[in-house]
Amino acid sequence: MQAIANGKLDEAGLSAAERALLEYVTKVTEAAYRTTAEDVQALREHGWTEPQIAEAVYITAMFAFFNRVADAFGIAPQGYLEMNCLTK
């Protein structure tokens, strides 16, 4: 968990399928308009099903929505990572 929280996916002990999914949702987060059918096909080839891929996109989009709303209203970060010792 610590490695993921710190963005160090190479140290997180992820399977190839998990890594592919995290890389895909990163792309969705940073530039969703750049995602392609080939990106989704790569997830399928790693064994992810259509419902699982859709759920990953929905969850990613929900987090982006909540973060933007919180930022717009000036809601301070709650410190959940720090409370759970997931950051240094």
CATH superfamily membership of 2-83: AhpD-like (1.20.1290.10)
Domain boundaries, the chain: 2-83
Cα–Cα distance measured from residue 48 to residue 46, given in angstroms and rounded to the nearest whole number? 6
Chunked in runs of 10, what are the mean pLDDT values of the chain (88 residues)?
80 93 95 97 98 98 94 84 58
Nearest 5 degrees, angle CA 19-CA 22-CA 25?
150
pTM, to two decimals: 0.79
Q: Are 75 and 44 in contact (CB under 8 A)?
A: no
Per-residue pLDDT, 81:
61
pLDDT at residue 56 in the model: 98
